[in-house]
Amino acid sequence: MDFARSARVEDLVTRARALLDAHVVPLEGRLMAEGFNAVAPDLERAREAVREAGLWAPALPVEAGGMGLSLTDFAHLSELLGTTPLGHYAFNVQAPDIGNMEILHHFGTPEQKARWLLPLVAGDIRSCFSMTEPQLAGSNPVMMDTTAVRDGDDYVINGRKWFTSSADGAAFAICMAVTNPDAPSPHQRASQIIVPLDTPGFRFIRNIPVMGETGEGWLSHAEVAYENCRVPRANLLGAEGAGFAIAQARLGPGRIHHTMRWIGIAERALDLMCRRAVEREIAPGRPLGTRQTVQTWIAESRTAIHAARLMVLHAAWMIDAVGPKAARDEVSMIKFYVAGMLQEVLDRAIQVHGGLGVTDDTLLSFWFRHERAARIYDGPDEVHKEVIARRMLKGYGLKVSR
């Protein structure tokens, strides 16, 4: 295993960093003060600069309109993009769109690709993924009340979803709904269906306030309802009843994207921590960095980030070399380990900044609000730990019930 950056990746990272510094980082202050919609026009100009530089959609295969980077190579770039809240969006590899692009590329029909994938890859539209329901445990994806019932050549969808992230302004949702309630396995009951958001019966209820902040546009989490929402059966993705399998196929690479983004955030937080430790004096001639406690936080953060990076690159390498199923344990390990590392580094950085750390004058408070959910979405920490422990104990002959 060799996780060193190739000459190509080094060049991509260098060029991408220059684009971020020139077009994206200057938008951070306005994002904090005015919100996503205020910076969207300037962000589109940044995206155009990325297109012109030939760095557009690096995680997608060439035949889908991307650069065709391997998962391991993209991991290096994803870390860099994660150092700014708008980095992934500027390069058109932001969640949930990148996951939906991957689903459409692998499971979409030619007609679905022409109507939805091509404009999504071009950056002309946005999308959302609609699975989690407010009354049921999101950690158990086979528990679902939303139904899609056949009626002639249509599906009629009824149900309520929340944390349909980025629905505000999206063109379509990929909705998970039960189509086969009598299937013998609960993993074969739900399907994924494309729902244009201008379909009668789709109702946008609200952007959910999260940690005291109501997001907008791409940086939003919506509650929505499907009320006799009728869409053609031609909008079905893959086979009927294959919704869970499609979702699982998306999760492995998606968790590499997320965790490397978190490592990028942690790197930026550590940089801010070190700068503050050098610049802020607790007494004349005595910077914060002279305190042993602060030095310990810096050393522990540096070490934890390094360990997290190696873990994620190893998981990405396994997926590239062997496939997602072979890396199940590794993907679960990085999911909870990196999420926990991120929380610790952000907390230390805020502490070093003191009162400044809890204001919106730095990015730390933004990330502390937005990334606390990292330990919850895509499977909470506790579920991933249980999965790993069950597999280990099974090897020792212990049957562990769920």
Pairing outcome for strands 154-165 and 221-232:
antiparallel
Identify the CA nearest to 229 among candidates 168, 187, 177: 177
| Residues in Cβ contact with 243 at an 8 Å cutoff, skipping those fewer than 6 apart | 176, 177, 179, 190, 191, 192, 237
Answer whether 147's CB lies under 8 Å from 177's CB.
yes
Identify the CA nearest to 66 among candidates 117, 121, 12: 121
Q: Which domains does the chain have, with CATH numbers?
A: 7-108 (1.10.540.10), 127-237 (2.40.110.10), 245-395 (1.20.140.10)
Identify the CA nearest to 129 among candidates 199, 176, 187: 176
DSSP 254-300: HHHHHHHHHHHHHHHHHHHHHHHHHH-EEETTEEGGGSHHHHHHHHH
The two structure tokens encoding residue 396: 């020792």
DSSP-derived secondary structure letter, 5: P
CA distances from 269 to 34, 279, 304, 356, 386 (A): 22, 15, 13, 13, 30
**pLDDT tens sequence for the chain (402 residues):** 778 899 999 999 999 999 999 999 999 999 999 999 999 999 999 999 999 999 999 999 999 999 999 999 999 999 999 999 999 999 999 999 999 999 999 999 999 999 999 999 999 999 999 999 999 888 788 889 999 999 999 999 999 999 999 999 999 999 999 999 999 999 999 999 999 999 999 999 999 999 998 899 999 999 999 999 999 999 999 999 999 999 988 888 889 999 999 999 999 999 999 999 999 999 999 999 999 999 999 999 999 999 999 999 999 999 999 888 889 999 999 999 999 999 999 999 999 999 999 999 999 999 999 999 999 998 899 999 999 999 999 999 998 776
DSSP 208-245: PEETTEE-BTTB-EEEEEEEEEEEEGGGEESSTT-HHH
Rounded to two decimals, the pTM is: 0.95
